[in-house]
Amino acid sequence: MQSSELFKQKELSIDSNKPTKELEWIIRTLFDLIDIDSSGVITLEKALTAYHNWDLPADYAQELLRECANENHVIEFSNFLKFFFEKEKKIKELFHRIDTENDGRLKTFELKIALEREGVCVTIEVQR
């Protein structure tokens, strides 16, 4: 991999309104990792434990509950799937906007242009 090629996107299907089987499997695996007692729902306590174990801020767990919890204050898989699918779509849309060459890869100069478009001035250093 070239050093100027930072990220490569495997596929770009931002128009899809439902997750691929592969993405649904990944999200299901994540749900099951958080749902440590296999009760079929995620509580704030389970989310806080998982995020703590993954060194993620507690705010993320609270956001997850705020966005996904039902009237019983727990997260069922269907809402969890929808939440992460929407996040995935936003990431792909951002990736597509930055990938000005439209080659499915983010290169240093494309990130520099994107950051400068947002008012962030950057310089590129080449490592040898």
The residues that touch Ca ion, with contacts defined as CB under 5 A, are 99, 101, 103, 105
- Closest approach of Ca ion to the CB of residue 123, in Å: 20
C-alpha 51/C-alpha 14 separation (Å) is 28
Decide: 96 and 112 in contact? Cβ < 8 Å. Answer: no
- Closest approach of Ca ion to the CB of residue 37, in Å: 44
CA-based angle 105:106:109, to the nearest 5?
135
- Closest approach of Ca ion to the CB of residue 97, in Å: 11
Of 82 and 112, CB closest to Ca ion: 112
Nearest to 79 by CA among 62, 93, 60, 64: 64
Of 35 and 99, CB closest to Ca ion: 99
C-alpha 128/C-alpha 113 separation (Å) is 23
Using Cβ positions, the residue closest to Ca ion within the complex turns out to be 101
Of 18 and 117, CB closest to Ca ion: 117
- Closest approach of Ca ion to the CB of residue 120, in Å: 19
